[in-house]
């Protein structure tokens, strides 16, 4: 940012006399440079500067502080529209009309007092014209407490379509823990196939990374791995639902392990360390939500624009918009206040449509069934989650688990989390149906339960306890037969191996390294091979000099 001296040196001696008159200084005779040096030295005296700014007209004072909040600079055209024009005058007309005596805008008030500069500054797009506050004045502004009363948003009409605000992040966390217990070997990272499987069974698939971070922060996973700490998981699942939700929320709000800015798609940092403090954006958003009425609807874009106008540097101490090395997915730098909406604006949008919705802090609305989110309303939960001593309304986790004769099991979302966690260990996962989870009892599921050291009596007990009734006779009979006979039937997938010469199939079937992978010979030129054995057969055949093309995918 340009200094006060450089700003004043751009002006003629007559301009320095105007500043001296308005500040109450006796300007000694000399050159325009000497006048600029004299004024710059007196104007930056903290007491003098403070008294002078305090005496500014309200519009000019608000404009100056707003410029300080924006890092000390603002695109000139936008400044001109917001705070009024600066009439173009040469020295002669200026001295005749004396516009500083009756300023027509906040821009003119600040300009003729030496508090506002106008210059072309470098940007990633090249030089652009900006309004700016001189460096020394900016430093003083940034040391001052901001005492202006916060602006309130005007409510709008309720939206045509409302999205569910069910605080279901806690249910998605339960799903994650059940999947990790059932499927994932101890590891420090989540395999992609497992990630996709879990996301297919959650209400908010995009919350999986946040849930993983929270599970680690809450001690639900063994340090450094994805292996569950069984005692911690049990306590979490048995605890009061709302208290567990609040614990997750407060952990997220204070977390430095999870960075909402780093999670934005299409945004990249120039180093491995992101420059922001993640808690600042969360605190800012919750402070603004706290000013709004629960149950009233508000425009999402208006909220973002108001924060831009009133508190643009909420996550940038010192209002420095040039020190962060961020860029978009194409590598274009995003430095300067002109990229506020691409960084801060996108972050605030993401908080509202992501974590704050997942925790049930806001409900979102849109005008078209599949259109963009345009509005929001704070929920009562937004007040309760913020209060560590809040008394939550009783939310009893209950709901009848339905076990059908065909083996399908439906579990309501608000069924006890500990019960669903156990059911998920002994059943196949089929998906979500409205606000219920779909599972199915199968021979594969029972075998998987056995692998987890759950015997048939325990499987039967889990199902009976969940349904609070006797099991359907067909299910009871299937469990009993498995107990007596083991695996009864299964469906397996095979593929056809066809050769051009019968001697090739004879060699493959006879050789010990390849014959083990041929399930059944149909005739002299055709055989069947299990799908999961193809790669091994191809490799073994190559070792004995026979090349086989694998099945087309």
Which candidate, 331, 270, 341, 338, places its Cα nearest to that of 126? 338
Separation of alpha carbons 110 and 114, rounded Å: 6
Pair type for strands 267-269 and 326-328 = antiparallel
Which candidate, 147, 2, 132, places its Cα nearest to that of 68? 132
Alpha helices in 295-379 (DSSP H): 300-310, 340, 346-353, 355-358
Query: In the prediction, which pLDDT does 186 show?
Result: 62
- Which pair of tokens denotes residue 33? 């440079």
DSSP, res 501: S
Query: In the prediction, which pLDDT does 89 show?
Result: 92
Query: In the prediction, which pLDDT does 150 show?
Result: 62
Which candidate, 248, 253, 308, places its Cα nearest to that of 286? 253
Contact 260, 207 (CB under 8 A): no
DSSP, res 338: G
Separation of alpha carbons 471 and 461, rounded Å: 10
Query: In the prediction, which pLDDT does 495 show?
Result: 86
Pair type for strands 298-299 and 402-403 = unpaired
> For residue 215, with 0-12 CB atoms within 10 Å meaning exposed, 13-18 middle and 19 or more buried, which class applies?
buried
pLDDT, tens digit (0-9, with 9 covering 90-100), for 27-43: 999 999 999 999 999 99
Which residue ranges of the chain lie beneath pLDDT 70?
123-125, 146-151, 184-186, 318, 485-492, 552-553
Query: In the prediction, which pLDDT does 337 show?
Result: 86
Query: In the prediction, which pLDDT does 489 show?
Result: 47
Which candidate, 395, 393, 358, 364, places its Cα nearest to that of 378? 364
Separation of alpha carbons 210 and 72, rounded Å: 35
pLDDT, tens digit (0-9, with 9 covering 90-100), for 319-329: 778 889 999 99
Query: In the prediction, which pLDDT does 311 show?
Result: 85
Query: In the prediction, which pLDDT does 135 show?
Result: 94
Separation of alpha carbons 366 and 308, rounded Å: 23
- The gap between the terminal CA atoms of the chain, to the nearest Å, is 61
- Which pair of tokens denotes residue 487? 């695996």
Separation of alpha carbons 437 and 420, rounded Å: 9
Query: In the prediction, which pLDDT does 552 show?
Result: 66
Query: In the prediction, which pLDDT does 138 show?
Result: 93
CA 399 to chain centre: 31
Query: In the prediction, which pLDDT does 19 show?
Result: 96
Separation of alpha carbons 152 and 413, rounded Å: 37
Rounded to 5 degrees, φ, ψ at 478 are -65, -40
Beta bridge partners of 82: none
- Which pair of tokens denotes residue 218? 């809450």
Query: In the prediction, which pLDDT does 454 show?
Result: 79
- The 428-433 sheet, strands edge to edge: 402-403, 408-412, 436-440, 428-433
Contact 326, 315 (CB under 8 A): no
């Amino acid at each position: 940012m340009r200094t006060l001296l450089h700003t004043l040196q751009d002006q003629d001696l007559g301009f320095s006399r105007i500043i001296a008159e308005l500040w109450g200084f006796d300007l000694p005779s000399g050159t325009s440079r000497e006048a600029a040096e004299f004024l710059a030295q007196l104007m930056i005296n903290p007491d003098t500067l403070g008294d002078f700014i305090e005496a500014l007209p309200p519009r000019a004072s608000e404009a100056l502080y707003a410029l300080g909040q924006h890092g000390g600079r603002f695109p000139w055209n936008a400044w001109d529209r917001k705070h009024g024009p600066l009439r173009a005058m040469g020295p002669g007309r200026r001295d005749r009309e004396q516009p500083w005596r009756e300023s027509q805008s906040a821009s003119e008030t600040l300009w003729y007092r030496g508090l506002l500069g106008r210059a072309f500054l470098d940007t990633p797009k090249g030089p652009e014209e900006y309004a700016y506050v001189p460096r020394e004045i900016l430093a003083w502004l940034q040391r001052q407490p901001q005492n202006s009363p916060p602006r309130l948003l005007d409510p709008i009409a309720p939206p045509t379509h409302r999205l569910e605000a069910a605080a279901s992040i806690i249910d998605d966390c339960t799903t994650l823990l059940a999947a990790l217990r059932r499927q994932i070997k101890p590891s420090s990272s989540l395999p992609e196939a497992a990630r996709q499987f879990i996301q297919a069974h959650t209400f908010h698939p995009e919350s999986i990374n946040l849930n993983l971070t929270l599970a680690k922060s809450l001690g639900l996973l063994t340090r450094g791995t994805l292996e569950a700490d069984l005692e911690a998981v049990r306590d979490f699942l048995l605890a009061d639902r709302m208290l567990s939700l609040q614990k997750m929320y407060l952990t997220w709000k204070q977390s430095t392990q999870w960075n909402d800015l780093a999670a934005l798609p299409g945004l990249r940092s120039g180093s491995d360390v992101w420059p922001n403090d993640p808690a600042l954006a969360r605190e800012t958003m919750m402070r603004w939500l706290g000013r709004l009425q629960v149950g009233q609807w508000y425009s999402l874009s208006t909220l973002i624009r108001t924060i831009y106008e009133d508190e643009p540097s909420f996550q940038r101490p010192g209002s420095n918009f040039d020190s962060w090395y961020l860029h978009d997915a194409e590598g274009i730098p995003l430095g300067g206040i002109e990229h506020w909406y691409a960084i801060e604006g996108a972050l605030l949008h993401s908080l509202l449509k992501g974590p704050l919705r997942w925790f049930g802090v806001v409900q979102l609305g849109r005008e078209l069934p599949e259109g963009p989110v345009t509005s929001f309303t704070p929920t009562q939960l937004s007040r309760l989650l913020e209060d560590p001593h809040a008394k939550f309304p009783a939310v009893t986790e209950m709901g009848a688990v339905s076990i059908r004769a065909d083996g399908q099991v439906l579990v309501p979302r608000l069924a006890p989390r500990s019960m669903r966690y156990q059911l998920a260990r002994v059943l196949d996962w089929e998906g979500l149906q409205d606000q219920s989870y779909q599972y199915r009892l199968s021979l594969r599921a029972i075998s998987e339960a056995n692998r987890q050291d759950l015997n048939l009596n325990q499987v039967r007990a889990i199902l009976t306890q969940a349904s609070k009734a006797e099991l359907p006779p067909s299910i009871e009979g299937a469990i009993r037969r498995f107990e007596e006979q083991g695996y009864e039937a299964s469906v397996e997938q095979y593929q056809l191996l066809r050769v051009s010469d019968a001697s090739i199939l004879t060699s493959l079937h006879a050789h010990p390294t390849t014959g083990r992978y041929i399930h059944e010979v149909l005739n002299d030129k055709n055989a069947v091979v299990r799908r999961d054995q193809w790669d091994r057969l191809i490799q073994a055949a190559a070792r004995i000099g026979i090349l086989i093309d694998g099945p087309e995918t």
